[in-house]
Structure 1
Amino acid sequence: MVNIKTLMIISLAVMLTGCQDMIVNPAASNLNAEDFEATWERVNTVYPYLAYKQIDWDSLYTVYKPRAEGARGDEIYTLLIELLGELKDRHVYVKTDGGEYISTYSPRRWLKDKYAYDPVVVRNYFDKELRITGEGRIEYEIIQGNIGYIHMATFDDDYLLNYFSEALEYVKNTKALILDIRHNNGGSYQNLVAVVSRFITSPLEKPEFYVLGELIPLEPFEPQGDFQYIYPVVVLINGVCYSTGDIFPEVMKQISTVTLVGDTTGGGSSGSTSSAPAEYELPSGKRIFVGTTDWRGYDGLPLEWVGCPPDIRVEQTESDIKAGIDKQLAYSIDLLKQ
């Protein structure tokens, strides 16, 4: 039988081993200065908007380098967030060891419109429950007056590729349609194509697209699907539309049957591709996300910071929503009833 003294020795050895694992060796594990250098260099090499935003990245190096050299432990996270925040780009993230993605910036229009939309208030304008598909990402129904309504909460994953046709089939005999993308933060370019292709009857040129500064030739949008929706369309937008949520209305605006209503989108046109990923591993194993691509508007200028303005601006506030009023949706309904 193992005696008490032996058990105590074994327990002490286990405790010491556990403590040894918890001890941080500053000389071996503090790579904060190296992480700073790698972050600065990554931005300097791949970020598309340093000149466009008139950011003096070299001078920022001299400001942040001493702080990085003096940073201890997790202080480097604060420094990286502040450094990358100088880019003023919501596509730029820091990923924590726990897997959390920390955005380094929120655009002014995003903050303004953050509480100026609520899907619950939208339901006040229907006399029946909205139909739902795409695992809740797409809602649709027909408003009184034979006006179709489709809300697309995201361009992520394959929801629109797989489910948009279902919603469009349901509203295909309406006299007009509202596509509501308010608060859509973007996602897959393929989803954008899946939607745009249902509203054109001939090829439509795509806006310019750059990867690491190189202009990439793109084939035009082509009509796709069982039918094309050719009746009047309103696309509802606001300042929380971002990324693909900026590009989609910019493209739809080129279609003669489409009118943009609401407020200017957030203005985020950087992104990434599989060949030029945004995710980048630092020497310590921490990860940052910095855009490598640049979508332009049809005027040839970046959508970054600028966003896509509506054809008809209808401002909406948090107070409107608290009062149960969706001015942007109400205006769109009245417009399409004419």
Structure 2
Amino acid sequence: MMTYNRNSVARKKNQTRLNFLLCIPFFILLLCISSCIREDEYANTPKGNFDALWTLIDQKYCFLEYKQINWDSIYTVYQRQLTANMSNDDLFEVLGNMLNELQDGHVNLYSSGDVARYWSWYEDYPRNFNESIIEKYLGTDYRIAAGAKYKILDDNIGYIYYESFSSPIGNGNLDQILQYMAICNGIIIDVRNNGGGNLSNSTTFAARFTNEKILTGYVEHKTGKGHNDFSNPVAIYLEPANSIRWQKKVVVLTNRHAYSATNNFVNSMRYLPKVTIMGDKTGGGGGMPFTSELPNGWGVRFSASPYFDADMNQIEFGIEPDIQVGLLSSDENKKVDTIIEEARAFLKN
């Protein structure tokens, strides 16, 4: 009996100890959750929304160090503009102006009545594009495949105008385009004024112009709250398509309004041996956007993961062309696109 009682008591003590140990992680989890709530909880007031936005950018935006932005001093400047009873319109203006300090076209503030945006990445530069002239080159008998308009010009040069990577393009579309242009001596791909869209569309398109797997860049991800807290770089490769691939020369036309997914498309294409980039420097947009929300329900979009080229150079501020060409006003007055004509001459030679 005594042996039995000792074992029974021991078992009860061990079970009690075990139950206690099992409860420790649960209490730690509760403490962590309550701590996170206290850290991330902001009042729905002008000051609360301001602090929520400033902290979000401070901890999650990926280019503060690269752009050498003193985010602490910006807090001081814009916090002084707050008042307890300011209107939503006035608060929206203050927050939008603060975000403009990031000089990033991927940064936006969304309310039910407005969108704060930064457009100086292309507004302060030559346009090098005239839509009415593009319509002249295409005429009325051009073909359309998903988001691409295409035609064979009279000198046997293929011309493809892709105005937005938000418009999807499939493998069937690309097969039709490339089969139709098989007789051409070369292709012009015009992505001027293409403000971006879906990266998968730009990758699907670029995959038709390589026969090998090619390293085109790297991406990093935020891993902590510090401005330099990033993961190790992850390599990005362009894989050749498992269908029709173009084997002749290509010229890609760019201008400052080529942005975001288009910037990535140009970055991929420039590593291909038969591709030449012509026109003006792209607008950039080398950060993968992320979205969040303020206490009052306003949406926020910002760059969270930086992209680099194959040499680990930032592409946030754009990519230089292989051949710099601008749209001459004298040509524009004659309804001639200088950049298209230079590309045609380059391909014929």
TM range (shorter): 0.7 to 0.9
Deviation at 1:240? 0.4
Q: Does the C-alpha gap of structure 1 residues 139 and 126 become closer, same or farther in structure 2, counting only changes over 3 Å?
A: closer
Q: Which amino acid aligns with 1:112?
A: Y
The correspondence for 1:155, drawn from 165, 187, 200, is 165
Deviations 1:239-275 (A, max 9, x none): 1001111121111111110111101001211123xxx
Aligned pairs for 1:19-34 within 5 A: 31-34=45-48
What SS does the corresponding residue of 1:148 show, helix, strand or coil?
Answer: strand
**Unpaired segments ≥5 residues, structure 1:** 1-28, 273-277
Distance 2:293 2:172 in 1: 33
Are 1:143 and 2:153 an aligned pair?
yes
What SS does the corresponding residue of 2:276 show, helix, strand or coil?
Answer: strand
Are 1:124 and 2:153 an aligned pair?
no
Q: Which amino acid aligns with 2:301?
A: F
Output the TM-score relative to the length of structure 2.
Answer: 0.80
Deviation at 1:72? 3.0
Q: Does the C-alpha gap of structure 1 residues 222 and 73 become closer, same or farther in structure 2, counting only changes over 3 Å?
A: closer
Q: Which amino acid aligns with 2:104?
A: D
**Structure 2 counterpart of 1:290:** 302
The farther-off stretch of 70-79 and 199-208 is 70-79
8 A Cα contact 2:143 2:149, kept in partner? yes
**Structure 2 counterpart of 1:300:** 312
Higher radius of gyration, 1 or 2: 2
Output the TM-score relative to the length of structure 1.
Answer: 0.82
**Structure 1 counterpart of 2:342:** 331
The correspondence for 2:259, drawn from 218, 239, 242, is 242
**Superposition RMSD on alpha carbons, in Å?**
2.1
**Structure 1 counterpart of 2:96:** 81
8 A Cα contact 1:50 1:57, kept in partner? yes
Distance 1:31 1:126 in 2: 53
Deviation at 1:160? 5.1
**Structure 2 counterpart of 1:54:** 68
What SS does the corresponding residue of 2:320 show, helix, strand or coil?
Answer: coil
8 A Cα contact 1:131 1:140, kept in partner? yes
Distance 1:44 1:280 in 2: 13
8 A Cα contact 1:161 1:191, kept in partner? no
Distance 1:175 1:319 in 2: 28
The correspondence for 2:326, drawn from 307, 315, 338, is 315
What SS does the corresponding residue of 2:151 show, helix, strand or coil?
Answer: strand
Aligned pairs for 1:202-221 within 5 A: 202-212=212-222, 213-215=230-232, 217-218=234-235, 220-221=237-238
Distance 2:163 2:116 in 1: 21
Deviations 1:65-115 (A, max 9, x none): 1212453332111001100000000110111213x43313421x444244x
Deviation at 1:314? 0.5
Distance 1:322 1:132 in 2: 28
**Structure 2 counterpart of 1:174:** 184
Distance 2:158 2:241 in 1: 20
8 A Cα contact 1:121 1:325, kept in partner? yes
Q: Does the C-alpha gap of structure 1 residues 207 and 154 become closer, same or farther in structure 2, counting only changes over 3 Å?
A: same
Could you list the structure 1 runs, at least 4 aligned residues long, displaced by more than 4 angstroms after superposition.
317-320
Q: Which amino acid aligns with 2:157?
A: I
Q: Does the C-alpha gap of structure 1 residues 320 and 175 become closer, same or farther in structure 2, counting only changes over 3 Å?
A: closer
Deviations 1:138-190 (A, max 9, x none): 10011122211111111115235663333223213311111110011111121
8 A Cα contact 1:199 1:228, kept in partner? yes
The farther-off stretch of 156-165 and 189-198 is 156-165
What SS does the corresponding residue of 2:215 show, helix, strand or coil?
Answer: coil
Deviation at 1:218? 4.2
Are 1:68 and 2:67 an aligned pair?
no
The correspondence for 1:36, drawn from 22, 26, 50, is 50
Q: Which amino acid aligns with 1:259?
A: T
8 A Cα contact 2:186 2:248, kept in partner? yes
- Percent identity between matched residues is 28
Q: Which amino acid aligns with 1:90?
A: G
8 A Cα contact 2:212 2:239, kept in partner? yes
Are 1:90 and 2:90 an aligned pair?
no
